[in-house]
Structure 1
Amino acid sequence: MNHLERLGDDPVIGAYLPDLIRRVDRKTAEISGRNKKGRELEEALQGLPQTVPSSVDVDRDRIRIGVADDLDKSRQEALFNALCRLKPWRKGPFDIFGVNLDSEWNSAIKWNRLDEHLGPQRGKRILDIGSSNGYYIFRMVAREPALVMGIEPHLNYYFQFLALARYLPFANLFNLPLKLEELPALKACFDTVLCMGILYHRRSPLDTLLQIRERMVPGGLLVLETLVLEGEDEMALFPEKRYAKMNNVFFIPTVACLGHWLRRTGFGDVRCVDISKTTMEEQRKTKWIDTQSLEDFLDPVDPARTVEGYPAPVRAMVLATADGS
């Protein structure tokens, strides 16, 4: 049985289920058949030990799956080696059968900025766009939603989710290897949508917001976290080539400009609940990434600037409500 068939009882998603299954099956077949990286990551998953954790706690800053005593020494080594093969680990942190996995981003810091503003989620449908290895959807499951769906096309992060999810007991949790534009329309489906760390990677942010709005119920909550430009003007920065060494950053708006984008794409009650400079407490190099991190992206003489000379990263957490029209 395809695990997605569990969605068939949902009165909204059920109508789209055959199309959703076709799209996911096509993508997973492509990953397994023609994608060398996908095959390597599948081999890494095969190295994970078979076990059932004695306990799980997803309602904590460092998500815990099992304890060290759940595994003997040989299975501990197999677990560690498999997790290393799935690097880089960008989101976390996790405690996986006693392995303290310190990810590049301490995602608990961002979650705690949102937590008090999120409100009850019991019985709701939740979508996380760019869900990475699932840190935020795991935290959401603790709030007893009807279902949580993530979409994550980046193979490393998607396979990290598969590695973690095999030890978790949640039947209402899904993470699909799809881009937003590959997801069926699912019109008026989701009560809450998370879009965190994604919008500045999109060439057309307004089209992205329209695609999100289409999938939300009237009155639904959008959580939008993104890079912003400081200042009161209604404007956006468009980097010439790279921003903080990233070549896929397109528009970085002021909060005022971001509010205009939201209102023009069908959202209201726009409120900014947090603005924070990204620090090395939140994003830093660890043994679980083997790549550069924030300290390498900033000007070594003036850390208020990126290496390209742009303002250093500042992020805003903005909430908005899907209009009823």
Structure 2
Amino acid sequence: MPIPDAHRPLYRAFLDQGLDSWLARLPEQLARGLDRSRFGDLPAWEKAVAKLPPLPAGREVRLDADHVTVDAELDASRRRQSESLLRVLAPWRKGPYKLGGVTIDTEWRSDWKWQRVAPHLAPLAGRRVLDVGGGNGYHAWRMAGEGAGFVLVIDPSPRFYWQFQAVRHFVGDADDGAVHFLPVGIEDVPEALAFFDTVFSMGVLYHRPSPLEHLAQLKAALRPGGELVLETLVVEGDATTVLLPGDRYAAMPNVYFLPSSAALCQWLERAGFDNVRVVDEADTSLDEQRATEWMTFQSLADFLDPDDPTRTREGHPAPRRAVLVANRPR
């Protein structure tokens, strides 16, 4: 079966990186992740990206700025066309972006998270990076801005895939072809791959019914000595504290285990990581996660107790997030 033009860069990247064991699985994974029979809105998203106007030569791309920015001199008509098509892909949850004069004010100020995480990373220049559950790829573009040599975003959401492709339309080849997206989950990564220099899992662990299994999968994707960056919801407490919230947490139905940072350190050590350290921990503010004109659904403010913002509306502690860094032993 011929490879669609849109997928050729991904295949070439896997060939260049020597990911032969994974390469053979790409046709099935792409077909399943972008199956129109499973995702009714997918044709509209694909069509919106295809209709984005061509960009003039000489555009300036900034992947090292808080807003992933593409400065391109589009006339008013093409700016309006771009904005209309980008809105077809809403809701936009991770960002922010400035694309051809269109500012996308996303639900999350993901740049704030990056500012907290970036100072604690091993330098990303030239590294091979896996971003698990990376959404539309905002952090992946920031990784490329730090010089990463190969960044693979995996996320099973086809909406995020097409948001990524929309950003790719504006970025063009300014990242030297470093950043790629595959619409799969961590369970689709070949076992015992031991390939990536850095693996990010941010905002994923609490959605996993078997958190230690998730940690084992992340470890298996890392080369010996590689670095894990783990960001997740936590609660305050000691090494024995773990919250199992029940049916919902902050209106989310698929939240399982919320450990304390101390408990999470023990989990990582139990999973075989070393050099485990907590590098950041803070409550999530209403300025960092909120509804915008690009994400008009309910957001964090709607999920907290109106009489006590330190609690969720179910009575649990309000969202608090920690960032931990660890290494796979050599």
Amino acid at match of 2:52: L
CA distance in 2, matches of 1:185, 1:312: 36
> 1:24 deviation in Å?
3.2
Deviations 1:77-130 (A, max 9, x none): 110111111111111111111111111110111000011111311221100001
Residue matched to 2:127: 124
What corresponds to 1:66 in structure 2? 71
1:273 corresponds in structure 2 to 279
Alignment partner of 1:208 is 2:214? yes
- State how 1:95-106 maps to structure 2 within 5 Å: 95-106=98-109
Write the letter of the residue equivalent to 1:46.
A
Q: Which runs of 5+ in 2 are unaligned?
A: none
| Matching of residues 139-150 of structure 1 within 5 Å | 139-150=142-153
Within 2, Cα distance between the matches of 1:44 and 1:22?
Answer: 23
- Partners of 1:91 and 1:309 lie apart in 2 by 27
Residue in structure 2 matching 1:258, options 257, 260, 264: 264
1:173 deviates by 1.1
Structure 1 equivalent of residue 40 of structure 2: 36
Which residue of structure 2 lines up, in the alignment, with residue 23 of structure 1?
28
**Equivalent pair of 2:305/2:315 in contact (CA under 8 Å):** yes
How many residue pairs match? The answer is 320
CA shift, 1:8, in A, is 4.4
Q: Distance in 1 between matches of 2:324 and 2:28?
A: 31
Judged with a 3 Å threshold, the aligned counterparts in structure 2 of structure 1 residues 265 and 304 are, in CA distance, closer, same or farther, namely same
CA distance in 2, matches of 1:240, 1:85: 34
Asked if structure 1 preserves the Cα contact closer than 8 Å seen for 2:33 and 2:158, the reply is no
On the 8 A contact 2:279/2:324 being kept in 1, the answer is: yes
Tell me if 1:80 matches 2:83: yes
Q: 1:66 to 1:179 in 2, by over 3 A?
A: same
Cα distance in 2 for residues equivalent to 1:187 and 1:28: 21
Question: How much does 1:236 deviate?
Answer: 1.0
Alignment of 1:152-231 (within 5 A): 152-168=155-171, 169=173, 170=175, 171-185=177-191, 187-231=193-237
Would you say the 8 A contact 1:58–1:139 is kept in 2? yes
TM-score where L is the length of structure 1 = 0.94
CA contact (8 A) 1:226 1:315 kept: yes
Residue 4 of structure 1 and its aligned partner are, at CA, apart by 2.1
Structure 1 portions without partners, runs of 5+: none
Equivalent residue in structure 2 for 1:319, among 316, 321, 325:
325
Larger deviation, residues 288-297 vs 164-173: 164-173
What is the one-letter code of the residue matched to 2:221? R
Structure 2 CA distance, aligned partners of 1:232 and 1:260?
11
Per-residue CA deviations over 1:9-53 (Å, capped at 9, x if unaligned) read 44541343222x2233322552x3553121221122233112246
Query: Residue type of the partner of 1:214?
Result: A
For residues 99 and 283 of structure 1, the distance between their equivalents in structure 2, rounded to whole angstroms, comes to: 20
Distance in 1, matches of 2:27 and 2:142, equals 28
Q: Write the distance in 2 (CA, Å) between the matches of 1:87 and 1:11.
A: 33
Query: Could you tell me whether the CA contact under 8 Å between 1:239 and 1:251 is conserved in 2?
Result: yes
| Root mean square deviation of aligned Cα | 1.6
Percentage of matched positions with identical amino acids? 41
Alpha-carbon distance in 2 for matches of 1:284, 1:293 = 5
3-state SS in 2 of match to 1:305:
strand
Tell me the alpha carbon deviations over residues 173-216 of structure 1, each in whole angstroms, 9 at most, x when there is no partner.
Answer: 11111111122336110000110011001111111111111110
1:238-272 deviation line (CA, Å, top 9, x unaligned) = 11110000001110001111111111112111100
Note the alpha carbon deviations across 1:43-85, whole angstroms, 9 max, x for none: 2223311224611001011111124xx2112211110111111
Q: In 2, are the aligned partners of 1:272 and 1:319 still within 8 Å (CA)? A: yes
Name the CA distance, whole Å, in 1 between partners of 2:240 and 2:260: 6
Instruction: Give 1:281 shift.
Output: 1.5
Cα deviation 1:151-186 (Å, max 9, x = unaligned): 011122221111101222131211111111122336
Distance 1:143 1:279 in 2: 27
